Amino acid sequence: MKKSLILISFLLLISCKTNTIIPQHITHKSGWSDEIIDVCKKAWPYAQLSLNAYEDEDSLNISHIYQKLDTFADNKIDFNAILYKHNNKNEYVLTFRGTNSIKDFKAGNNPVNRKQNQAGIKAFDSVLRKYGNDISIVVTGHSLGGGIAMGVSLNRPNVTCFSFNGSPIFKKRNNKGKDNERYSIVEYGEILKATRIFGREADQLYTSINLTPGLNTIKQHSMINLAIGITQIAAIRSPKAQKSLEINNLNLKYNSQQQQQQQQQQQQQQQQQQQQQQQQQQQQQQQQQVQQQIGG
């Protein structure tokens, strides 16, 4: 996944349609809006699975909810996807790996043939043939993987899509996916967000979250930060998300910018109080010394 943080800087952006930006009203004491919390409650398992598609040291343990069931790969274009099955219900999740090499960068971001997108649709069709057309299926992915997932949801019916910091490299070829639900969740300052203004997006619920403040757009594109942050926000109201954080030895709470500012103000106030107390003590000591000298 770390390789992708360098490669995505050169993405070509060609896409379609419009998006709906989620409204945000800060009503929760956590500092996050109710709308953000609700979206994160839906998205956090898929964020973790999108992270795990890279199969590297950043992967999170989500085996208490999903089990790895199948894999799909095309070595010629370095395409890779993993199929997960929910432990307690008939839900399947097909997660597409993001850019991980020069080979899949070229195959995934070619505006002419979009080989990775074609491979994604092929993998999706294979899942239906193998496991049945009546299954509940979600497609998801990060960066290029999010773009592939979005492409599948545009061209196939009865599939829900979750895209994380997704690349808008996809093409609508038919109207089969017009009624599908699509969620696009992006880090506020990540590198692809600034360039999306030059293209059109798919119809989707678009959510921007400021989890990684600063100007490092490559770091802000990272899936590990986004996956953990989304899970921590979900944990405000989701016991399952709380359990996931505990299993992975992660902090239960995410400090929003508002909370960080409040904490900084509290620390400054405490420091000022300590300084005042020290000054008072010094003054008292000086007064005592003067009195002792006079008395002597």
- Kindly state the tokens that stand for 285: 């000591």
Residue 147 has pLDDT above 60, yes or no: yes
Give yes or no for a contact between 116 and 105, defined as CB atoms under 8 angstroms apart: no
- Examine the pLDDT at 25 and tell me if it is beyond 60: no
Residue % of the chain over a pLDDT of 70: 68
> What pLDDT score does 287 carry?
81
Tens digit of each residue's pLDDT (9 = 90 or more) over 242-278: 999 999 999 887 654 444 455 556 666 777 888 888 8
Backbone phi and psi for residue 208, each to the nearest 5 degrees, phi listed first: -110, 130
Backbone φ and ψ for 103, nearest 5 degrees, come out as: -60, -50
Considering only residues 8 and 206, tell me which one the structure prediction assigns the higher pLDDT. Answer: 206
CATH architecture of 34-259: 3-Layer(aba) Sandwich (3.40)
Residue 76 neighbours by CB distance under 10 Å: 10
Tens digits of residue pLDDT in 30-84: 578 889 999 999 999 999 999 999 999 999 999 999 999 999 999 988 899 999 9
Measure Cα distances from 187 to 3, 55, 215, 240, 241 in Å.
19, 22, 12, 23, 20
- Give 224's contacts (C-beta < 8 A, 6+ positions apart): 1, 51, 58
d(CA 21, CA 35): 11
CA-closest candidate to residue 85, choices 138, 133, 43, 152: 138
Q: What is the pLDDT of residue 114?
A: 67
User: At 209, which helix (H) or strand (E)?
Assistant: strand 205-209
Please state, in angstroms and rounded to a whole number, the distance separating the CA atoms of residues 83 and 151: 17
Instruction: Locate the domains of the chain by residue range.
Output: 34-259
Alpha-carbon distances of 155 from 86, 142, 158, rounded to whole Å: 24, 19, 10
pLDDT at 15: 36
Alpha carbon distance 164, 42 (integer Å): 13
C-alpha 223/C-alpha 165 separation (Å) is 8
